[in-house]
Amino acid sequence: MSEEMELEGEWVMGWPDRKRARVMPSKDSEGRTIFARSPVLDLEGVLTPTDAYYVIAQLNMPDPVHPDDFSFSIGGMVDNPIEYTLEEIRKFPGRTVRAVTECAGNDGEFWDYIEEGKNVPKPSLRVVQAEEGGWRQSGDGEEALDINNILQSIPTTGLVSGGEWTGVPFRTVLELAGIQEGAESVALYGWDEGKPDPVTQYLSVGRTDFDVVDPGIINYAKAMPIEKALHEDTILAWAHNGEYLTHVHGAPLRLVVPGWAGNWWVKWIDKIEVLDHTPDFYYQTHYFVSGKSPEDPDKKAMKKLGVKALITSPRDDDGPIKCGTHAVTGRTWSGEGAVVRVEISTDGGESWNDATIEESNDRWLWRRFHYVWDVAEPGQYKIMARGTDEKGRIQPTRDWNFQRKHFDGIVPEIITVEKG
């Protein structure tokens, strides 16, 4: 290797390694990570390294519990209430699932970007080394919150990753407990607790002129329909990417719900209850909901992810490219299983051509796509990608919901092509 070709990066096992994509986390007052974006554009393959996985918590992250001291209970409408240790459930037949984890708020900044008349800068998917995320908790007696400051306070891109999860099927422990007739939902409670910050509500809606529900200090909790809890790919996971869970990702035990947004993937599980109703949890009926407005009485819990095809190259913030042959590449995923078609437009949606999708047996994991683009004339080109999943759902160009969650719209890349 010549001196001019010296590799940048760390030394791993005694050998020089290429510089790796890393998240730059936000930390609390004690230096512990509480928020981190994933460098989606810089990832290779389909599995996101654990140290590049996105991190977010709605409430205060709890103190860690040693796996040997951990246990959780199953109660409610069951014939055999029981408490399990981690060692005990690891003796059950296991299951490994590969799936995309996507925060419901991922890419929320794009709502304003694609809305007509807003004229806001395009949000960046780049994760830079110097950035800091997170927001300052608001306190009583402070000045009125400025929505513009709120919208700039935290980046919402990069809150998606792809991983491998190992655990026990949720239905295994539920069936052993014996679900009673009339059961409607399964509630999971984490041991993370705190008071929800109103800033998150204002950030989601994009305004501050509405009343925010104040539930006080609560534990994070979600209640899913019995049918989803019994799905073969819904698991209680203790391992991630071939290793035991790390604390920021929910150790010792977390829920994995492929196809549903990350807020359903309850971390730091404390107890499970089978119920004959769907409870009025804050993160069930007040936040992570869809409707016409915050005042809409018919708001519903948001569950399945939409269809997405994300162009990773070329990007309009990469600068101009030369006339010639280029590869339009990216990754695609859906909350309804496998994406079966990705189409590329290089003329702003006037015409579409099929891209090649990488074959995979992992229906919940994103897949890479590739399209050969021959461009002979210089100018500006509006490149777009559109996905279609196995249920026939087609990625929309715009589908508004008031909480600015589950963004799955088509976002054009404006590419400048120069003479070669």
Q: Nearest 5°: phi and psi at 90? A: -70, -10
pLDDT at position 329: 98
pLDDT at position 20: 65
pLDDT at position 29: 72
Domain spans, the chain: 67-301, 307-418
Take residue 37 and report the two structure tokens written for it: 């974006």
**What would the DSSP string read from start to end of 165-205?**
EEEEEHHHHHHHH-BPTT--EEEEEEEEEE---HHHHHHHH
Give the tens place of pLDDT for each residue, 167-209. Answer: 999 999 999 999 999 999 999 999 999 999 887 888 778 778 8
Taking the C-alpha atoms of residue 224 and residue 256, their distance in angstroms, rounded to an integer, is 12
Taking the C-alpha atoms of residue 387 and residue 333, their distance in angstroms, rounded to an integer, is 8
Taking the C-alpha atoms of residue 53 and residue 405, their distance in angstroms, rounded to an integer, is 20
pLDDT at position 124: 82
- In CATH terms, the superfamily for domain 67-301 is Oxidoreductase, molybdopterin-binding domain (3.90.420.10)
Decide which of 2.60.40.650, 3.40.50.720, 2.60.40.1180, 2.60.40.1120 is the CATH code for 307-418. 2.60.40.650
pLDDT at position 349: 96
| pLDDT per 10-residue tile (average), the chain, 420 residues | 54 70 70 84 91 91 93 98 97 97 90 76 70 40 50 73 98 98 98 89 80 93 98 98 95 98 97 97 92 85 94 93 97 96 97 97 96 97 97 83 86 94
pLDDT at position 292: 82
pLDDT at position 118: 72
Give the tens place of pLDDT for each residue, 305-353. Answer: 999 999 999 999 889 999 999 999 999 999 999 999 999 999 999 999 9
pLDDT at position 206: 74
